[in-house]
Structure 1
């Protein structure tokens, strides 16, 4: 959006857009003709546009399902205050209109706080997962421990896992357990994904160091139903269904979202097989045989909108169930053939939103119980060929004592967000998130207290956390300068039975608590209407999460000795673009962190979160998109980050790279759209390439790293087992619309060169796979 030159007189045009019955129309496009100024109406149908001072203005307003309105207004009309614009129904209007203002996705890209915005709507017909979409973005890597449904963790700008918080529509995702996350949710369910790097907006207000992922669900005022079904290699099936009904007054709505993920995940991997008679170890390529994953998710919701006492009141109920076969633990050193893990829950939610003049309120509440179970009762072990070897002395295959655990996690989460428009250019926000978690359970085969023999899961563990944030967003210099100043308060306390890193109960009932403060500053300065600089800095604290301290009842061990990690983060970025031609974004970042919480394998079966005392480093990322012609677009990005240990008092680890963390990765993409295929059809073609430079499973002395510039080429000077090798992944596909936008057919060949792909903890992922996806939308 072009901004008036400094010192130039401006006028603020404000108004309300409504339908013929007087109901507000959120999302209407409002454009001031003969300028590049435009915007979208908010949830109350209101808008404000700052434009150069003129005697009169021609206003163009468009909204899907309504006739276009063009109206000329004079300065005297503007001085009277807010102007009302009424749009008339147009049943014959096409399903697409050209929006001259900025969509919410475009607006998110332009905020002072750095956000990588992934537009899932643009690719929802592709058989692509959210993990793949995010891995194509600069600065982001999603690491998984296997195929569909495996544990996944986000790595971004040097931080990883729980240092990067996950949200859904601004609400922390912990309350949904493992039922809804970036590896499971279909892209069809989402409007976009906002990935914040470094400083978080006040409205999110979490204790994150490296940033956050906010999954924004679809918003619509209209009745619609949408279904998709994907079938793929390894007996993979993914289905989704979204439906919404609203009455003609648009004061009442009811809807449902559901999805299914199922896969045998029986792809081939390279392993080392141990002969049971001779104990000889030989390499082999085998097919996984006990790696099936099934996940069901359903959410029903209903509510009221646009009434005098509420903008939106939404009540929802979510049910999910997960069944996971366990093929291996923290590494592929030992196979399993019978162990399974399960999780299920029913979760009610309530959300209330209302704007009272300058004051806005957004309140969210949920209370739930999430049940997890692990079954490990095979009296023997399996080899990589699926053969069972009985062992009467064993009670389980994963561990000698086995497991039959049933654990209940109780959650209560409250999120309160208040906003106040103190002046035209100053917005004040407050955000408080409190989380209360309890854990109880049983395991007749599990750990017991020394002396008494009492099941340690029968003793309650408690975890409470509250994060408060207060911020002021101010606009200066006729919109050229935007400033966000945010202060945060962190508190947590927890208590449980202490268990050591090997899973042995120590018999100590321990408790801990801590208070801390943080401060952040984010500035955006517009050089031109399409070019700007961004700067942010933060002194942040990240509290240990309950699963990091208590374990997950599966392959992740507890560590009650974890301490909060503290970090100083600095980010500097530049962005420029020319509509329909190119966009370029370059960002640099610096981090220095004390007691970084890192998930590490403690043996070939289990992982555990541990503190890394001192880590610092810097990084650079760049992203370029170019329209080569009207039907072909290209995108490329790369990320380099150099994070190392310091002050370790150990010659071997001093200045070593942070373990299990990629330090260079890059992406290349080509997209082409061909219209007028057949009877009003079109086809979208695409190709993607991803490269990840070799990195190291454990700490490696700096003098053993490759000699090439920044370590980007050459070979490491040690043996291969500790190296996660260079990886290059090629994928290509198409989406075909036979006629109109209602139905589409998508096909994709992933990793079509069948390269060996390794991920978190050097666990091998699938080779070549073929995917077919059908989408149908009824509006």
Structure 2
């Protein structure tokens, strides 16, 4: 019994001692714009105690004795701030420091590190960098974020999950390549396009205009968009978001990452879920009792979209044997209801469905072989599956009613001559790819780089309702190999940078098909090989004025969907020839001196030329006989202008941009010679964006901010057919339109956590807006979004 008493006595004494030394002071250090200050010094001079903030501006002071203490927070270039605090036994206190910039010290001593955006845009590459820090808090999707950039147009055939056509300086579709961390986007599982990539899972977007760096191993004609994931920093961090609103929309995304400093082990994981009924109102023509077509307004009834996906990466960083060795895995699943044809005309569909699934893995290895030689190697496999289902025998009207039954099942097929009825089509793709980049620093400012990028795709399919000859059973193989060599030089104290590169494009196409009635095996083969080259030059006259000249003679090889069709709406065309283009840009950038006593502004201009031979054009049809064809030569020439201004206290911001592009037919012979010098139809040629925001800081607490924002987009009217086609009714165009969005965001920090809530109204004036083929887009919509970051 005495032994137990002695043990309890010592435990009691230990508890008291622990409580006496468990006093804790924690908090955050931010600048006057609300951004965290990493490596700020926190000190209690009287106790000779001090710590540094982490990369999120967070700190902890442990085992602080009772009493009143003065605590200082300091950082180079900022005025030291002091708080006085009284602490008692077992007490935990939170402090927040908001440091003001020291103007004199900034002018004389302080060097501010450049952002990734500034570093990229100062190179000789034709690139615009879009930061997503603010976009992550808003309800706009990734397509809408990018569409606010000069030269970029994203056109949709409906609401969330609908087909989105990305256009850059007039070129569109497969002429633009999309990447996630340098790997083709669809090989990462995002097979439904860039608009379905969650904004909250990315760090920034790099838009390369016309001139594509060799490290992507890409054969793009009009440019490349590279989505960049967040850096994997030491410690645990992540984010979660949830959005809901009009048309039954729900969107959620979760991202988490952790890295151990001692072992180098790291893990990242993310996931998303999107759903929308897309039941917004549209104007359609319906026959009345007398059989006369009259316009009515009805909600869409069969246009829902659902998508979800997960991804994870495990690996190590900063080891003697590897800068990075990691393995990534992912899975995505998409479901889309299809309500109408490409023209939104005729009889609607009530049960036609489209499904897509994708899964794969990516192995990454990066190593500094020596101080002057670097190696990056990526190897991956991706499996994708598409299903198209058209089995109903119902005839639907625009009110969503099944008004009769067909003798032949299949809502689309029954309207086609020679159709056998229902379809349940599957298309399977197996993709193998790699990207191997090596660089060698010859001297301090001279670097040679090389890239090898082979890709192999095997495609086949099956229509489960076809019992005889099935074209989907054709075995199709596509091998593409893009190689490149680059020489980069920096001169005149880094005021001049020049990049010269050469590329080689190889493609091998093979199709094996058993043809009726003899059931003989027909084999089609074709090989192509092309060379291209380019150069980029950037010269900074001073810190405020610079110019950039870039050029590439580019080749764009046909893609699987263009060559083999998609098994749903697009027919195969193995005779497609590659597109080739002369791409040039001339840019000028003007900005004010870095002076924290005045406002900041920047003006950027770009004139561009895209001269395309053998242009591949998507030729649409109201049924399932759409096809890609080489049709004509074309030229896109135009100019971009962008400007932004920020007040000296970072509270008020204005930005705007405009784009004019004359993309016209340059063919004097062939099928479209009659339309020589006509603008390419169904593509806008003038559009502009504008935005403004105002921030109220430290409203309810030191660490909070209330932001009011608004943006607008204007698109000038354009024709859906050739301008010289004759009949106005045939070439009927899409009228000029202007859409306004506005919203409010409140965000605040608590310890290491950041919370934000945004309320946003899109299409504030309920404008009837269209992008192409007369398909009406959503009207006024209300959304709310919650975000947590840690």
Range of TM-score over shorter length? 0.7 to 0.9
Deviation at 1:659, TM superposition (A): 1.5
Give distance in 2, aligned partners of 1:432 and 1:92.
Answer: 53
**Aligned counterpart, 1:722:** 732
Q: CA deviation at 1:499?
A: 13
Q: Which one of 355, 360, 366 corresponds to residue 353 of structure 1? A: 366
Q: Deviations over 1:670-693 (max 9, x none)?
A: 111110111232111111010001
1:676 corresponds to which residue?
698
| Structure 1 counterpart SS, 2:268 | strand
TM-score by length of 1: 0.83
Indicate how the Cα distance of structure 1 residues 387 and 317 shifts in structure 2: closer, same or farther if over 3 A, else same. Answer: same
Query: Is 1:148 paired with 2:160?
Result: yes
Aligned with 2:639: secondary structure? strand
Is contact 1:332-1:604 (8 Å) kept?
no
Equivalent position SS for 1:555: coil
Q: 2: CA distance between counterparts of 1:609 and 1:761?
A: 17
User: Partner of 2:174: helix, strand, or coil?
Assistant: helix
Aligned with residue 411 of structure 1, among 414, 419, 431: 431
- CA spacing shift, 1:506–1:621, aligned 2, 3 Å: farther
8 Å contact kept, 2:189–2:360: no
Tell me which residue corresponds to 2:507: 492
Confirm or deny: 8 A CA contact 1:644 1:655 kept in the other structure.
yes
Which residue of structure 2 aligns with residue 87 of structure 1? Answer: none
Q: Offset of 1:264 from its aligned partner?
A: 0.3
1:519 equivalenced with 2:542 (yes/no):
no
Check the 8 A contact 1:330/1:555 in 2, yes or no.
no
Residues 238, 257 of structure 2: 8 Å contact kept: yes
Q: Which runs of 5 or more structure 1 residues have no equivalent in the other structure?
A: 1-39, 42-59, 72-90, 705-716
* C-alpha contact (below 8 Å) 2:284/2:297 kept by paired residues: yes
Change (3 A) 1:588 1:645: same
Aligned match for 1:657, one of 644, 657, 679: 679
Distance in 1 between residues matched to 2:191 and 2:95, nearest whole Å:
41
- For each residue in 1:300-337, what CA deviation from the matched residue of structure 2 results, as whole angstroms up to 9, or x when unmatched? 11111110101111111101111111112212113110
Inter-partner Cα distance in structure 1 for 2:99 and 2:509? 53
**Residue 315 of structure 2 is aligned to residue 295 of structure 1:** no
**Match of 1:283?**
295
Shift of 1:104: 1.3
Aligned mate of 1:697, from 720, 734, 744:
720
- Say if 2:667 is the partner of 1:647: yes
Deviation string for 1:597-626 (max 9, x for gaps)?
Answer: 222312355543222321013100000101
* Pairwise CA distance, 1:488: 0.4
How far 1:566 sits from its partner (Å)?
Answer: 0.6
Match of 2:614 in 1: 595
Compared with structure 1, are the counterparts of its residues 250 and 612 closer, same or farther at alpha carbon in structure 2 (3 Å cutoff)? farther
State the alpha-carbon separation in 1 of the partners of residues 520 and 591 from structure 2: 59
Once the two structures are superposed, residues 148-184 of structure 1 have per-residue CA deviations (whole angstroms, 9 ceiling, x without a partner) of 0112121011110111100111112232354464211
Of stretches 578-587 and 159-168 in structure 1, the one that deviates more from structure 2 is 578-587
* Deviations 1:440-481, CA, capped at 9 Å, x for gaps: 2210335x8xxxx33222231111111111101111222121
CA–CA separation in structure 2 for the residues paired with 1:260 and 1:179: 15
Change (3 A) 1:765 1:497: farther
What is the CA distance between 1:392 and its match in structure 2?
3.6
Choose which of 449, 459, 465 in structure 1 pairs with 2:474. 459
Q: Evaluate the alpha carbon distance shift between residue 207 and residue 274 of structure 1 in structure 2; reply closer, same or farther with a 3 A threshold.
A: farther
How many angstroms does 1:587 deviate by?
A: 0.2
Contact kept, 8 Å, 1:61 with 1:69, in 2: the verdict is: no
Query: Which residue of structure 1 aligns with residue 12 of structure 2?
Result: none
Partner of 2:789: 777
Q: 1:571 to 1:672 in 2, by over 3 A?
A: same
Residue 260 in 1 paired to residue 242 in 2?
no
Note if 1:269 corresponds to 2:293. no
Cα gap change, 1:733 to 1:61, in 2 (>3 Å):
closer
* Contact 2:232-2:259 within 8 A present in 1 as well: no
Which moved further from structure 2: 155-164 or 673-682?
Answer: 673-682
* TM-aligned CA distance change 1:738 to 1:102, over 3 Å: closer
Cα gap change, 1:497/1:178 in structure 2, threshold over 3 Å: closer, same or farther? farther
* Aligned-pair Cα RMSD in Å: 2.8
SS in 1 for 2:575: coil
Contact 2:189 2:359 in 1 (8 A): no
Shift in Å at residue 406 of structure 1?
Answer: 1.9
Q: What does residue 456 of structure 2 align with?
A: 436
Shift of 1:586: 0.2
Summarize the Cα distance change of 1:506–1:339 in structure 2 as closer, same or farther, 3 Å threshold: farther
Rounded Cα–Cα distance in structure 2 between residues aligned with 1:513 and 1:97 = 64
| Local SS of the residue matching 1:478 | coil
Q: Once the 2 structures are TM-superposed, how far is the Cα of residue 271 of structure 1 from its aligned partner?
A: 1.7
Q: Which secondary structure does the structure 2 equivalent of 1:760 belong to? A: coil
Per-residue CA deviations over 1:626-673 (Å, capped at 9, x if unaligned) read 125532111111000111112334664111101211100001111111
Report the counterpart of residue 535 of structure 1 in structure 2: 549
Further displaced range: 588-597 or 167-176: 167-176
Q: Hey, what's the Cα distance between the residues in 2 that align with 1:625 and 1:562?
A: 43
- The alpha-carbon deviation at position 574 of structure 1 amounts to 0.3
Closer, same or farther: CA 648–94 of 1 in aligned 2, 3 Å: farther
Aligned residue in 2 for 1:714: none
Counterpart selection for 1:172 from 156, 180, 184 = 184
Contact 2:189 2:330 in 1 (8 A): no
1:166, 1:212 within 8 Å by CA — same for their partners in 2?
yes
Task: Answer whether contact 1:426 1:474 (CA < 8 A) is retained.
Answer: yes
Q: Is the 8 A contact 2:307 2:335 kept in 1?
A: yes
Once the two structures are superposed, what CA deviation does each residue of 1:685-736 show, in whole Å capped at 9, x if it has no partner? 111010001112222219x8xxxxxxxxxxxx92387211111000001110
Whole-angstrom CA distance in 2 between matches of 1:402 and 1:719 = 34
Cα gap change, 1:70 to 1:685, in 2 (>3 Å): closer
How far did residue 127 of structure 1 move? 1.2
Is the partner of 1:761 in helix, strand or coil?
A: coil
Tell me: CA distance 1:359–1:92, structure 2 relative to 1, closer, same or farther (3 Å): farther
CA contact (8 A) 2:453 2:483 kept: yes
TM normalised by structure 2 equals 0.81
Residue 746 (structure 2) aligns with: 736
- Matched positions, count: 679
Partners of 2:147 and 2:403 in 1: CA distance: 40
CA distance 1:679–1:177, change in 2 (3 Å): closer
Out of 762, 770, 773, the residue aligned to residue 750 of structure 1 is 762
3-state secondary structure, aligned to 2:118: helix
Which region of structure 1 is more displaced relative to structure 2, 248-257 or 680-689? Answer: 248-257
SS at match of 1:668: strand
In 2, distance between residues paired with 1:641 and 1:206? Answer: 24
Contact kept? 2:667, 2:673, Cα under 8 Å: no
Summarize the Cα distance change of 1:454–1:94 in structure 2 as closer, same or farther, 3 Å threshold.
farther
